[in-house]
Copies of this chain bind each other. A is one copy, B any other.
Amino acid sequence: MAPLRVTCLGAGTIGASWAALFLSRGAYVALYDPEPERLIQANAIIAAAYDDIRALHPECAECDWSKLHMTNMLSEACQSSDWVQENAPDRLEVKHALLREVEGFVDKETPIASSTTALLASEIQNGMSYPARVIVGHPFNPPHLIPLVEVVAGELTDPALIQRARSFYEALGKEVVVPLKEARGHIANRLNAALFREVVHMVASGIATVEEIDRAMVHGPGLRWAFLGPNLVYHLGGGEGGYAHYLTHLGPSQETRWRELGEAELSESVRKDLVQGLEKALVHLPYDARAYRDAGLISLLKLKASLKTQR
């Protein structure tokens, strides 16, 4: 089978990270951005991401830069494309304008997957000539390291495309999660949003500082969630009786806490408190946060792979 030709629309952090991943799996990648400046910066992002991928997968070949074509000409980027991964700014009018133009350059069978966080496939495909080939393929930052991809069909998406997208991303080594229906934020960013709302509420109402909230996470629940999802955590919390026992005996305590959780609003003064709180926390960090995250992620993913083969 000939290697795939993947079109990456948008050369920001997400688009460039996807491009590195596609390259590492042998695909030809056309990376499009209307801003030449961003294409130039993307080179360094791809190179660094590729290093991370090789650190995680030492068997991966060196980057074949000849397979990468960067361009600010959309028609060029779309030529003979087998898969379009769209990473434009997360605003509907921007995606609509871009994708309607893309439709003029790609075959009507070519899937268009959107990395959108906040939009729905149904919204994006609305008004397109061939809406059936539009689907959400939402990665998690940074996409070249984090395994999760959420695949979500819109109302007009060809149902067969769900399986095709699953196969496409799994062949890239990703873990594909498919919600039962569309919802803003899909699954993972709804969890993120729910948790973050309470973070903002705690800072805004003086319950805790930004630094102590972050410390509570990384030394507490954040350690378990790398291995077990929230349901499984409470299943173990239920002891011999499992999840049913937990829900019956500690469910009321959860409901009591739910009633005391707060609402939040990112007003200017709250945003200021958050930023000032973070600045204080940064002073105490003994490491560069981004390097620490990526070194940590690579080691953690290796660790999880080794635990899986042990049992």
A contacts, CB < 8 Å to B: 13, 90, 117-118, 140-141, 146-148, 150, 175, 177-181, 183-199, 202, 206-210, 212-232, 234-237, 239, 242-244, 247-248, 251-258, 260-261, 263-266, 271, 274-275, 277-278, 281-282, 286-293, 295-297, 299-301, 303-304, 307-308, 310-311
Contact across chains for B228 and A293 when beta carbons are under 8 A apart: yes
Residue of B nearest to A239 (CB): B13
A166 to chain B, nearest CB (A): 12
Q: Which of chain B's residues have a CB closer than 8 A to the CB of A282?
A: 235
Contact across chains for B223 and A301 when beta carbons are under 8 A apart: yes
In the assembled complex, the Cα of A298 lies from the Cα of B130 at a distance in Å of 51
Known: A146-B220, A295-B307, A311-B286. A209 touches B180 (CB 8 A): yes
Known: A213-B229, A243-B275, A311-B287. A297 touches B224 (CB 8 A): yes
Contact across chains for A212 and B244 when beta carbons are under 8 A apart: no
Instruction: Give the number of copies in the complex.
Output: 2
In the assembled complex, the Cα of A304 lies from the Cα of B243 at a distance in Å of 30
Residue of B nearest to A119 (CB): B253
Known: A225-B226, A257-B190, A311-B292. A281 touches B216 (CB 8 A): no
Contact across chains for A221 and B192 when beta carbons are under 8 A apart: yes
Contact across chains for B219 and A146 when beta carbons are under 8 A apart: yes
Q: Which of chain B's residues have a CB closer than 8 A to the CB of A291?
A: 311
Contact across chains for A191 and B198 when beta carbons are under 8 A apart: yes
Q: Which of chain B's residues have a CB closer than 8 A to the CB of A223?
A: 146-147, 226, 297, 300-301
A179 to chain B, nearest CB (A): 4
In the assembled complex, the Cα of A220 lies from the Cα of B232 at a distance in Å of 16
Contact across chains for A304 and B296 when beta carbons are under 8 A apart: yes
Contact across chains for B177 and A219 when beta carbons are under 8 A apart: yes
* The 3 nearest A-B residue pairs measured at CB: A214-B229, A222-B225, A148-B220
In the assembled complex, the Cα of A127 lies from the Cα of B265 at a distance in Å of 38
Q: List 30 A-B contacts (CB under 8 A).
A: A13-B239, A117-B253, A177-B219, A179-B207, A179-B212, A181-B206, A184-B256, A187-B208, A187-B212, A193-B254, A194-B194, A194-B195, A195-B195, A214-B231, A214-B232, A222-B229, A225-B225, A227-B300, A231-B278, A235-B278, A242-B278, A243-B275, A244-B275, A247-B271, A251-B271, A255-B266, A286-B308, A287-B307, A292-B307, A292-B311
Interface-central residue, A180, A190, A228, A291, by most chain B CB under 10 Å:
A190
Known: A197-B258, A301-B223. A215 touches B175 (CB 8 A): yes
Q: Which of chain B's residues have a CB closer than 8 A to the CB of A265?
A: 255
Q: Which of chain B's residues have a CB closer than 8 A to the CB of A235?
A: 278, 282, 289
A255 to chain B, nearest CB (A): 6
